[in-house]
Chains A and B, each alone.
Chain A
Amino acid sequence: MSFDIPDDRRYLESHEWALEENGVVRMGISDFAQDELGDVVFVELPDEGDHLEQEGDLGVIESIKAVSDLYAPVSGEVTAVNEDLFDAPELVNDDPFGEGWMIEIEADDLDELETLLTAEEYEDQIA
């Protein structure tokens, strides 16, 4: 089975993606991760204004069959939360790189993105 792995963003080994735009980093989980989880039924995300540390816990995602922790791609302050996911968590399955995004972070140091996997490296990891 092949999965989408857009090369405009970076990835964590724990399957989150991070896309930087105008200094703000948007994150979600990968196509591979949503497929592994199966039907997503619940997400627990931080509040706007919370401060996150890179690779620290940021919340939880639950499918019908499993619970997984979510990790922050960069350190920084949460500036937006995708509240659509609270009523429609299946957006993570339907469009993991688009409508299924989770939070936006104003990064303390955008250089942290360089420590994450490239699309090619992530593809190797899940191969």
Chain B
Amino acid sequence: MPLQTPPLRGAHDERGAKFTEFGGWDMPVEFDSIRTEHAAVREDVGVFDVSHMGQIHVTGPDATELMQRLTSNDVSRLAVGDSQYAAITDEDGIIIDDTVVYRLPDESATASNGGDGEATYLFVPNAGTDEETHERWISYRNEWDLETTVDNRTDEYAMFAVQGPNAPALVDDLTDEAVTELDRFEARYATIDDVTCWIARTGYTGEDGFELLVPWSEAEHIWSLVECQPCGLGARDTLRIEAGLLLAGQDFDHESDPRTPYEAGIGFTVDLETEFVGRDALERVHDDGVEEQLVGFQLIDRGVPRHGYDITNTDGRVVGTVTSGTMSPSLGHPIGLGYVPVEYAEPGTTLQVVVRGQSKKARVETTPFIDTV
């Protein structure tokens, strides 16, 4: 199957980017060097093309009910311009995907209807999962006989993440509206050079910053206006590991490494006061506790932990698996994430990671590994 290409594929190529396949998309992994790009985001500002992320638009009288019943968090708490992180779970409470749900201004709001009742949502599933997520929403909508329209708009929007301590100043200069007034997880429509964009104070690097949803046809123009270090998925990975943030398909995988939000450390996305697919199973997990959980660790010995490496206890017995690992550019030492039984999850616990047959000493650490917003 041919790879999907972001609207800026040609521009990235001209800039000298290296590319990688990610979720079925041909995405830039590195423009200059991961170390350079990583440092730009931690110390200044960098911009990522994350157009491979999905965009699903949900509207209509029953939009809130559909979103409520298919995501783990409480969408009824969202005012216009709010967003929330949520999990999408199956009947067993296993994470299918993680997502950010935005409540958009109500498209049908008029003076005559008082603007009531027809909340509009946009949510962002991970790369390559938009089609099956769209099908899931349509299937449940039909099963529950809800009056909603569900559109997969992944091919209509490019998405850029402008991240770093100087991101607010940069985005403020670009926009005609006061976006720096937005709190974390707030969003609004704003114009950049007369192009209407959805601008949210969100991101996945642990830094302050914004995500810009831009009409696909205007992507190249808007990208050219964001004058800062372009960053690829390589730096995005090192930044998000340092921030202790999950990567779908690696830190959880519905097929190969099924995990509940509680195991994965995102129990805060589960609101058991709401009714959603997987809720009852998750209530049992919540009451009984988990047997394993995702922990952060630092490798004390020399080496780099990688996805799939065994984690052992000090006796050499395999007790877990590394899900993500890297040499932390900010900290200068190797760090990783992995699932271990809860008795090994306490920060300070000594473990071992098996790197190409050799046991390397590791220590459980509190995540995030660095201070984040």
The residues of A with any CB-CB pair to B shorter than 8 Å are: 1, 38-39, 41-42, 44, 60, 62, 64-65, 67, 86, 90, 93
In angstroms, Cα B324 to Cα A65, docked, is 11
The interface residues of chain A, by DSSP majority, are classed as: mixed
Asked if residues A86 and B302 are in contact (CB atoms below 8 Å), the reply is yes
**Which A residues are in CB contact (< 8 Å) with B303?**
42, 44
Asked if residues A64 and B306 are in contact (CB atoms below 8 Å), the reply is no
6 more A-B residue pairs beyond the given contacts A62-B327, A93-B33, with a C-beta to C-beta distance below 8 A: A38-B33, A39-B329, A41-B304, A64-B326, A65-B30, A65-B34
**Which B residues are in CB contact (< 8 Å) with A38?**
18, 30, 33-34, 234
Asked if residues B304 and A42 are in contact (CB atoms below 8 Å), the reply is yes
Asked if residues B34 and A39 are in contact (CB atoms below 8 Å), the reply is yes
Asked if residues B234 and A65 are in contact (CB atoms below 8 Å), the reply is yes
From B16, B238, B306, B329, contact of A1 by CB (8 A): B16
Interface string of B294-331 (1 = CB under 8 A from A): 00000000111010000000000000000000110100
Interface assignment of B356: CB less than 8 Å from any CB of chain A: yes
**Which B residues are in CB contact (< 8 Å) with A67?**
304, 306
In angstroms, Cα B306 to Cα A60, docked, is 14
Interface string of B66-88 (1 = CB under 8 A from A): 00000000000000000000000
**Which B residues are in CB contact (< 8 Å) with A39?**
33-35, 329
**Which A residues are in CB contact (< 8 Å) with B237?**
65
Asked if residues B29 and A65 are in contact (CB atoms below 8 Å), the reply is yes
**Which A residues are in CB contact (< 8 Å) with B35?**
39, 64, 90
5 examples of A-B residue contacts, CB within 8 angstroms = A39-B34, A44-B303, A64-B326, A65-B34, A67-B304
**Which B residues are in CB contact (< 8 Å) with A64?**
34-35, 234, 238, 326-327, 329
- The total of Cβ contacts below 8 Å across the A-B interface reads 37
**Which A residues are in CB contact (< 8 Å) with B34?**
38-39, 64-65
In angstroms, Cα B29 to Cα A64, docked, is 12
Asked if residues B356 and A60 are in contact (CB atoms below 8 Å), the reply is yes
**Which B residues are in CB contact (< 8 Å) with A62?**
304, 327
In angstroms, Cα B36 to Cα A90, docked, is 13
In angstroms, Cα B334 to Cα A42, docked, is 10
In the complex formed, the residue of B with least CB distance to A64 is B34
In angstroms, Cα B197 to Cα A103, docked, is 55
**Which A residues are in CB contact (< 8 Å) with B30?**
38, 65
Which residues of B, 114-157, contact A by the 8 Å Cβ criterion? none
- B214 CB to closest chain A CB (Å) equals 27
**Which B residues are in CB contact (< 8 Å) with A90?**
35
- A55 CB to closest chain B CB (Å) equals 19
In angstroms, Cα B29 to Cα A41, docked, is 17
In angstroms, Cα B238 to Cα A44, docked, is 22
In angstroms, Cα B305 to Cα A67, docked, is 11
In angstroms, Cα B222 to Cα A78, docked, is 55
- Per CB-CB distance, the 8 closest pairs between chain A and chain B, nearest first, are A41-B327, A39-B35, A64-B34, A62-B304, A39-B34, A42-B304, A65-B234, A39-B33
In the complex formed, the residue of B with least CB distance to A35 is B18
**Which B residues are in CB contact (< 8 Å) with A41?**
304, 327
